Amino acid sequence: MLKCRIAMATLALIPFTATNAFASNQEGIVTATSLNVRSGPSTDSSFLFSIKKNDRVTILKSENGWYKISTANGHEGWASSEYISTNTSDTNQQSNKKVVNVDNLNMRNGASTSYRVIMKLNKGTVIEIISDSNGWTKIKHDGRIGFVASQYLSSIENNNQPTKPEQQPNVPVQPQVSVGKTKVVMATSLNIRSGPSTGNSVIGSLKNNEKVEVISESNGWSKIKYNGKEGYVSSTYLKDSNEGGTSKPDEKPSVETKIKVVVATSLNVRSGPSTGHGIIGSLKNNEKVEVISESNGWSKIKYNGKEGYVSSTYLKDSNEGGTSKPDVETKIKVVAATSLNVRSGPSTGHGIIGSLKNNEKVEVISESNGWSKIKYNGKEGYVSSTYLKDSNEGGTSKPDVETKIKVVAATSLNVRSGPSTSHGIIGSLKNNEKVEVISESNGWSKIKYNGKEGYVSSAYLKDSNEGGGTNPGGGSGGSSSEVVDGATVNYRNLNYSLQDHVNKQASKGNGNMISSRGFVQASRSDIEHYINPKNFTSSKSGMLQFLRLDSYKSGISAGELNGYLNSLSPASNGTNVFYNQGQAFLDAARKYNIDVVYLVAHSMVETGYGKSTLAQGQVLTSYKGSPLPQPVKVYNFFGIGAFDGTANLSGAEAAYKNGWTTVEKTIEGSAKWLSQNYIHNGGYDQNTLYKMRWSYEHLWHQYATDVNWANVISGVMSRLVGMYDTNNNLVYEVPVHR
């Protein structure tokens, strides 16, 4: 039997910091509504008592993010330093206060860019310094505690110059160039950014042949001096100043540009190589363009003296001729639907630009993935290939298929004018009502309805010989479905009310905690808020706790995952345990048929983004009290087998028992354990984050005690789910209380 344990998700909310030198008997003020005081400096230590917001305490000692404190009535214990503000700085701080030297500085709830932004600070804002570590400064401002990048803070007595971090992140970096080295820009225009990635804001630009003073170089970015401040530029477009100062061709990037021609009526130019980047302009049909490079279906081009990106699909070599006709033969087809929407792109997510009538002839340019590119009013558009037929098949719109009688298996099923939820509702069908199905495609059935044609979701039809029940989901009293942005959303009716659910959970006593107030016992209102699906279905992030996790979805590459994993800030020992582990996550998710975005996000939360003791690896010299032949290092990324009071030891022993002696073995073994015990375990029906956290029938088989656990993981998932090529393979299951 799986024992209950406190979720390790709280590790994602409490940054791990090194022990600081500390002046004893310093005064502190409690900033949390209620803060637990324990017998030792960890959540594994026993609970002693709690203190309230604004209580004053005497700090006796500091250790690994914990303060040993004494209260006004003389009681002593350990509390998280995250929720105690000190009146004076630690002895290792330069100063108690500093000033922000850039506009819109993100203040985060943890010491890396992976943590959420809790507020933005304006240039000139004076903030209170709590501590500095690995390029991040823990600060207090406006009654809140958070973290900012140290490089954007200056000493008050010299706030015109940005201060450097007191210590650089303890990670291997590329050799740095000497301070004050002059280099020359070799691009028409080079953006200067506030940080070393294209995700940081542009704060200025440099022109071709402009000289710049380079402070350091790392991972393809150069930190430079710019207008008395510091900024970052891509090292690719800098060269040593002794390589010559003219803008002759030998100063251009070492790739040969190529002239191509646009073969589309209008081609968007974007700021980056995906449709997720903003549109900065457009090109017309037959317009010539200078291509710098091509990668993954996108061409980097020169545009109005800058660089931009266009889809390579709509460019051709300049010697192929000047017309925009593709090198394919067009074909005449006939519309086989009462009304067929013409869209701006090949999915229902694109806007409707017109419509075609039944039997109308249309010139088809190409077909791909169920969509036909057509000529429409002198432009191009897209229609579903399902509703086109060859022109020689006759003029009627009746498909040459045999109709079939099916039965409705939902309380009420909407009939729509087309095969998606973006089409209007023209009627509805009742439970057990029989319907004549003309054809089925992509999850939608074309049916005969009141002498016309309509469309219903195929998920809620069954063969007429299967019986008349309304319970396709099993035991939930009926359900309904819709398609939203290409994803299927199933609504599962529950046979108990929201208050029944809350009562059941509240009966666990201390089995529900809330991390946002110092990991204290959750109130009934806390439980009711987080257990109610309606509080989360209106946001992309909240919806992901209802995503079905019991299938592997393709479309994400190891390189994309590594881009995220490799950006994680290192632990205090300078290592990123998840570095380049994208392929390991993909292999494990595929092998055990679970969602890879979930698998990565869950591990991030449980390990504090790789910084927890269990994640960094522990060396065992004994197991269950018996000495081992030799020391063994083990890893645990999901807190599996880690029990309250002995989390690190019991978690390490569970890892040893499972053979998790390498990062790759741990990722694969954890995926297997999650699949067998939760996601694919038919005895518990826990294939979404929501159901893993809020089981009605099996209170003892819930993954975590933090009431915000599912929502925290879905928040991390929202940063990754965009890596999927399409929403069409995402399926959600949203519970509906009686």
Of 507, 504, 498, 506, residue with least CA distance to 532: 498
Task: Determine which of 62-66, 215-219, 253-257, 313-317 has the lowest per-residue pLDDT on average.
Answer: 253-257
The answer, yes or no, to whether residue 471 has pLDDT greater than 70, is no
Residue 474 and residue 490 share a domain: no
User: Where does the pLDDT of residue 223 fall: very low under 50, low under 70, confident under 90, or very high at 90 and above?
Assistant: confident
User: CA–CA separation, 168 vs 153, rounded Å?
Assistant: 15
User: Does 466 share its domain with 479?
Assistant: yes
Q: Stretch 612-631: mean pLDDT, rounded?
A: 92
DSSP assignment of 96-108, as one string? SEEEE-SSSEEEE
Residue 6 lies in a domain: no
pLDDT above 60: residue 22: no
Q: Which pLDDT score, from 0 to 100, does residue 689 have?
A: 98
Which is more confident, 689 or 65? 689
In a domain, 537, yes or no: yes
Q: How far is CA 615 from the centre of its chain?
A: 21
pLDDT of residue 725: 64
Going by pLDDT thresholds of 50, 70 and 90, the confidence category of residue 66 is confident
* 68 shares a domain with 33: yes
DSSP letter, residue 542: H
Q: What is the pLDDT of residue 186?
A: 72
In this prediction, residues 454-473 reach a mean pLDDT of 58
Q: Is the same domain home to 409 and 421?
A: yes
Domain check: are 372 and 385 in the same one? yes
Instruction: Note whether 315 and 347 are same-domain residues.
Output: no
Residue 719 main-chain phi, psi, to 5 deg? -80, -20
Where on the phi/psi map is residue 286: left (φ > 0), alpha (ψ -120 to 50), or beta? left
**242 burial via Cβ count (<10 Å: 0-12, 13-18, 19+):** exposed
Cα separation, 573 vs 579, whole angstroms: 14
**Nearest residue to 493 via CA among 475, 479, 481, 472:** 479
Residue 281 lies in a domain: yes
Is 187 inside a domain boundary?
Answer: no
**Which CATH number is 387's domain given?**
2.30.30.40
Q: What pLDDT, in 10s, does the model give residues 236-245?
A: 677 776 544 3
Which phi and psi (to 5°) does residue 426 adopt? -110, 0
Asked if 307 and 360 sit in the same domain, the reply is: no
For residue 114, the model assigns a pLDDT of: 62
Number of structural domains in the chain: 5
| Integer Cα distance of 578 and 558 in angstroms | 12
**141 SS3 class:** strand
Both structure tokens of 264: 């589309």
What average pLDDT score do residues 180-184 get? 76
pLDDT for position 163: 36
The three-state DSSP-derived secondary structure of 654-681 is: HHHHHCCCCHHHHHHHHHHHHHHHHHCC
What is the percentage of the chain residues whose pLDDT exceeds 70? 76
Same domain, yes or no: 383 and 419: no
pLDDT value of residue 632: 95
Residues 462 and 497 in one domain: no
Single-letter code of the amino acid located at 711? N
Token pair 């390589």: residue: 243
441: in domain: yes
Residues 489 and 478 in one domain: no
Domain boundary among the residues 69, 86, 103 is at 86
* Model confidence at 501: pLDDT above 90: yes
Start-to-end CA distance of the chain, whole Å, equals 31
Residue 83 has pLDDT above 80, yes or no: no
Comparing 733 with 84, the larger pLDDT belongs to 733
216 has a pLDDT exceeding 60? yes
Q: What is the pLDDT of residues 410-447, one digit of tens each?
A: 667 788 888 876 677 888 888 778 888 887 776 678 89
Taking residues 706-721, report their average pLDDT: 93
**What mean pLDDT value characterizes the chain?**
76
Counting residues of the chain whose pLDDT is more than 90, the rounded percentage is 21
pLDDT (average), residues 390-403: 46
- 199 pLDDT more than 80: no
Tell me whether residue 243 is in a domain. no
Last residue of a domain, one of 393, 415, 438: 393
Would 7 be classed as within a structural domain?
no
Final residue before a domain boundary, out of 33, 61, 86: 86
475 in the same domain as 517: no
Q: Please indicate, yes or no, if residue 313 is contained in any of the structural domains.
A: yes
State whether 511 and 491 are in the same domain.
yes
d(CA 382, CA 118): 43
What average pLDDT does the segment 697-715 reach?
A: 91
pLDDT at 612 over 60: yes
359: helix, strand or coil: coil
CA gap 232, 245 in Å, rounded: 22
Per the structure, the complete domain to which residue 526 belongs is given by 485-550+686-738
Q: What is the DSSP letter of 257?
A: -
pLDDT at 547: 96
| 9-29: average pLDDT | 48
Residue 568 or 253, more confident: 568
Q: What is the pLDDT, as a whole number, of residue 445?
A: 84
- The answer to whether the CB of 120 falls within 8 A of the CB of 104 is yes
